């Protein structure tokens, strides 16, 4: 884990993770467990997406970023603004049926849901949204959107 100048980063009080494993080791047990379950779900439902660390959290990319997992303990800014783990779609505004399950807040394209547990209903919704988000990513790559 690298400690950067806290004036140059808004993430996790200046910490920079060098791997997803390092980020997972940083998390409290509840967030780690939920993050790992979401990772498994994304990898099983969208195996062609590439996992990478961006903004200190896992992002999943096809042609562009498709989705991300953002544990609340990995800060954006100086304080926690939600509890649990945030599952988000980078271009959720283009994914049919993403609302109302996912929230938009004041964002134009990114939609998310904050989770403190993962119910069967959540799993079904996330599976469906992932399939739709991957389809949107492929359509955008072909210039159809």
Which runs of consecutive H residues, i.e. helices, occur in the chain?
20-26, 29-45, 120-141
| 138 contacts 66 by C-beta, under 8 angstroms | no
| 51 contacts 20 by C-beta, under 8 angstroms | yes
pLDDT score of 83 more than 80: yes
CATH of domain 2-141: 3.90.1150.200
Q: How far apart are CA 69 and CA 89, in angstroms?
A: 9
Q: How far apart are CA 118 and CA 136, in angstroms?
A: 25
pLDDT score of 11 more than 70: no
pLDDT in tens, 25-59: 999 999 999 999 999 999 999 999 999 999 999 99
pTM comes to 0.88
pLDDT in tens, 102-130: 999 888 999 999 999 999 999 999 999 99
In this prediction, residue 7 has a pLDDT band, given cuts at 50, 70 and 90, of very low
In this prediction, residue 9 has a pLDDT band, given cuts at 50, 70 and 90, of very low
């Amino acid at each position: 884990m690298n400690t950067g100048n806290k004036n140059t980063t808004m993430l996790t009080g200046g910490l920079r993770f060098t791997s997803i494993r390092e980020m997972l080791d940083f998390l409290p047990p509840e967030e780690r467990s939920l993050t790992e379950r979401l990772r498994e779900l994304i990898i099983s439902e969208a195996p062609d997406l590439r996992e990478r660390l961006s903004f200190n959290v896992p992002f999943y990319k096809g042609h562009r970023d498709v989705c991300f997992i953002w544990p609340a303990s990995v800060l954006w800014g100086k304080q926690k603004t939600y509890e649990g783990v945030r599952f988000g779609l980078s271009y959720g505004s283009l994914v049919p049926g993403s609302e109302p399950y996912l929230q938009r807040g004041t964002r134009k394209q990114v939609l998310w849901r904050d989770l403190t547990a993962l119910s069967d209903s959540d799993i079904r919704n996330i599976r469906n949204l992932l399939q739709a988000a991957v389809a949107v990513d492929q359509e955008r790559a072909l210039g159809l959107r």
